[in-house]
Amino acid sequence: NLLNICSGINLTNKNQWSLKCMLYVESKCVRCNYCKNLSKNLNRKKNQQKTTLRTQFKYKRAQQTRRLSKKVYLMKTKINNLKQKFNMIKEEKIDEIIKDLPQTQKEAIKMCFKAR
């Protein structure tokens, strides 16, 4: 029956132990399971790259540009659909639709349709 002292975790030349560590190991291992798991967790946290402000800014900016470009694309397709619909409408139908509008608006709409 072997009893060894748990070596704990070496942090900046100091030994630390897990809160649940019993300070001895019954096998040939150097550390108890609690200290081993604590060491793994600390190393994992240390090795994970923390996102810097610069990368967060780049990510946000990329998201914004994707959203805006999607909006632009949707608006362009909507405009093209409306143009196609207006091209199908005959001039008599246009006059019938705009008959209740004031004279200046009628002229503006007719100028738009003449420009196409």
Domain ranges of the chain: 4-47, 53-115
Q: What is the distance, to the nearest Å, from the Cα of residue 25 to the centroid of all Cα atoms in its chain? A: 46
Both tokens of residue 3? 């009893």
Q: How would you write the pLDDT of the chain (116 residues) with one tens digit per residue?
A: 678 888 888 776 677 888 888 888 887 778 888 888 888 888 777 766 666 677 888 999 999 999 999 999 999 999 999 888 877 777 778 788 888 889 999 889 888 877 76
pTM of the model: 0.40
Measured distance CA(96)–CA(78) in Å, rounded: 24
User: Which of 8, 5, 7, 30 is closest to 19 using CA atoms?
Assistant: 8
Is residue 24 within 8 Å of residue 33, measured between CB atoms? no
